[in-house]
Chain A
Amino acid sequence: MDYTSLIYAILSMGGMGLLFSVAISIANKKLHVEEDPKIGLIADLLPGANCGSCGYAGCANFAENLTTGKAQLASCPVCGVDAQNKIAQILGVVVEAGVRKVAVLMCQGGEGSVKQKADYVGIQSCIGATFAAGGERACSYGCMGMGDCVAACPFDAIHMAGNGLPVVDRVKCTGCGNCVTACPRNIIELHPINRHVFVLCKNLDSGKNARAVCKNACIACGICEKAVNGEGFKVLNNLAVVDYAVYTKELVLPTEKCPTKSIVIVGDADEV
């Protein structure tokens, strides 16, 4: 074996690397751009997940736009209250206290609840199944159960449960909204974490048809509306909706009266 070429290779590559790095470091000194030191400080406080929920190309870009005043701190839904306060201090602005939002799956049509209409053998993706007659579950409003939202979550906060429905980890969820965008059925919504009563159904079919495809569908019977004298629950377009403007603890009541158990308490009332 010829060791000279080995030595030459090491020397020449090392030499070139050295030469270029010296040239670049000189250029770096000469062409140095004064950057606002705040940008670095803020970028360190931001989550760094580059999820893009704020509408800017990553956290560093958002930090830059914050310092120039183009961006609003509130447009980062991921940032915790702690970090927000620190960033506000750096920027010299007062931050409005907001309530953390978390994703809620507005569907209970897992296995055992929803009827199967077919066997789906295509691409294991909800978007894919949308193009193939809407997957295997009979409800055309509900979850298809192939986990596009799980794949879209940058914070590992959504997981598939045994019944084929995604479950949101309300502690880990940052409310970035990536799953909301990923869901082709638009059944994931962002709600403030202090909301606990939900109608977990999006089926707009008449009660009979909705009941025919899913045990837990809202059948628009109106029992919830009567139970609270119309204050807080309304039946609109064959679907009961919670009026969060008059949201009180009383609304917990119809959860027991709902015949299909489509009104559900999500999360713990003590969590913040």
Chain B
Amino acid sequence: MSYFLIFISAAIVNNYVLSAFLGICPFVGVSKKIGPALSMGMATTFVMTLTAAVAWLINKYILIGLNLQFLQIVSFILVIASLVQLVEMFVRKASKPLYDALGIFLPLITTNCAILGVALFLVMKEYNFLESVVFGFSAGAGFTLAIIIMAGIREELELADVPQHFRGAPITMIVAGCLALAFMGFAGLI
């Protein structure tokens, strides 16, 4: 049951984008179309899940074991950067169009604060290994959910009669705000 609770908590109630406001950059940058948005969400989920696993191991056996907690952020960033490199190579190999569609946002997953957030939160919440992995995956699923909802709305917005001065970035910000308000409805669920 607790895994389920972790999932609901990380994916919906404390959604990384819409409640914690982490990872806004790709959320706005790659949410023009559902296709690339889904891929971005999956890439981020992959990195988050692996980061959670590796970060937990490093934290438990190296940082706590050797009493080096002050190296937490540095070592987590090292993990994230390496994983993103792997994902980038993989995506480039697997699908060139996807690589082009994600563009600069793919290497920028490295600096996506949502991923560092996962690593830091799982230490803070003192999860065990499996819980950490579930937590990382759920956070990624939440990110994917948010970015797909956003992409769906923005695809519709393309056809909407938006006042000229609100077109592009401004209306996107307003929509993101409305979405965050909607997600506030989940607060207190757990």
Contacts and interface: CB of A to CB of B under 8 A. Distances in A.
Contacts of A16: 58, 62, 75, 78-79
A152 B68 CA distance: 47
Interface stretch (A27-35, A98-106, A168-176, A194-202): A27-35
Contacts of A5: 66-68
Given A20-B79, A20-B82, A23-B82, A12 B93 contact: no
Q: Which of B58, B74, B86, B104 counts the most A-chain CB atoms under 10 A from its CB?
A: B86
B76 to A, nearest CB: 11
Interface in A1-60: 5, 8-9, 12-13, 16-17, 20-21, 23-24, 27-28, 31-33, 57
B66 A8 contact: yes
Interface size class of chain A, counting residues whose CB lies under 8 Å from the partner chain:
10 to 19
B92 interface: yes
Given A20-B79, A20-B82, A12 B90 contact: no
B71 A12 contact: yes
B164 to A, nearest CB: 16
Interface string B45-74: 000000000000010001100111001001
A24 B68 contact: no
A16 B61 CA distance: 12
A31 B89 contact: yes
Given A16-B58, A57-B103, A27 B86 contact: yes
Q: SS class of chain A's interface: helix, strand, loop or mixed?
A: helix
A31 B66 CA distance: 35
B128 interface: no
A127 to B, nearest CB: 14
Nearest to B85: A24
Interface residues of B, number: 21
Contacts of A57: 103-104
A32 B89 CA distance: 8
Given A28-B89, A33-B92, A12 B62 contact: yes
Contacts of B96: 33
Contacts of A23: 82, 86
Nearest to B86: A27
Contacts of B74: 13
B95 to A, nearest CB: 11
Contacts of B85: 24, 27
Contacts of A27: 85-86, 89-90
B75 A13 contact: yes
A24 B66 contact: no
27 contacts: A5-B66, A5-B67, A8-B67, A8-B68, A9-B68, A12-B66, A12-B75, A13-B74, A16-B75, A16-B78, A16-B79, A17-B78, A20-B78, A20-B82, A21-B82, A23-B82, A23-B86, A24-B85, A27-B85, A28-B89, A31-B89, A31-B90, A31-B93, A32-B93, A33-B92, A33-B96, A57-B103
